[in-house]
Amino acid sequence: MSRPLAHPRRHPAAVLLASLLSSSCLLSSALPSPALAQTASAQPAAAPRSIPLLQTETNSNGTPIVYPKGTPQITARITEIPPGVRTGVHTHQIPLFVYILGGKLTIRGENGESTVYKEGDAYMERTDWHEGINEGSDPVRLLAVYPGEVGTPLSVKQAK
């Protein structure tokens, strides 16, 4: 003799159990057989890989990286510099990690020393007065990450 079905409002646990069991039956029929699973597991699984961009204790002009002492604040931005455009002479009071996404960027330090960074280059920005210049024909796109502190400007322009 069969038993009457439980009313869903009176027995929500029974409804939940029935739903889970029917879902697991549907799921198990959609999964590959153990023989297929063994074949698939014989192939090496894809794994995450990590490509080092930069590991350094100094900025690009050789000075040690110094972290701020105040309340930490991380700022990340993508900056675009059109061909022929200059950033203006400036400096940074906080560390600045730069990754070039596209184009070529020339950084000219106060001593006249220039470094050209291209797509895929990563560096810690100089701490002296310097200027970024896009001397190429393509826009420069870069990721700038500032591990700074609340209230400290990301850059300071040189007074004219």
How much is the pLDDT for 43?
Answer: 75
Do 83 and 24 lie in one domain? The reply is: no
| Residue 27: per-residue pLDDT | 42
Whether 3 is covered by a domain: the verdict is no
105-158 pLDDT, tens digit per residue, is 999 999 999 999 999 999 999 999 999 999 999 999 999 999 999 999 999 999
In the chain, how many domains are there? Answer: 2
> Is residue 81 predicted with pLDDT exceeding 70?
yes
Range of 36's domain?
12-41
Q: Is residue 16 part of a domain?
A: yes
Q: Are residues 110 and 152 in the same domain?
A: yes
Enumerate the H helices of the chain as residue ranges. 12-30, 34-42
Side chain identity, residue 72:
P
| pLDDT at position 9 over 70 | no
Report pLDDT for 45: 84
Please write the tens of the pLDDT for every residue from 28-42: 444 455 555 555 567
| Neighbouring-strand partners of residue 113 | none
Per-residue pLDDT, 33: 54
Looking at the structure, do residues 78 and 149 belong to the same domain, yes or no? yes
82 and 126 co-located in one domain: yes
Percent helix / strand / coil, the chain, rounded to 5: 20, 30, 50
pLDDT of residue 20: 39
Q: Do the domain assignments include residue 58? A: no
82 Cβ partners below 8 Å, 6+ apart? 134, 139
CA nearest 79: which of 113, 125, 128?
125
**Distance between CA 57 and CA 71 in Å, rounded?**
22
Query: What pLDDT score does 44 carry?
Result: 78
Least reliable range by pLDDT among 15-19, 65-69, 98-102, 131-135: 15-19
For residue 133, being part of any structural domain is answered with yes
Alpha-carbon distance values, 78 to 27, 42, 128, 143, 145 (Å): 44, 42, 22, 5, 9
Is 50 exceeded by the pLDDT of residue 12? no
pLDDT tens, residue by residue, 58-68: 999 999 999 99
Assess whether 89 and 28 both reside in one domain: no
Q: Are 65 and 56 in contact (CB under 8 A)?
A: yes
Residue 83 lies in a domain: yes
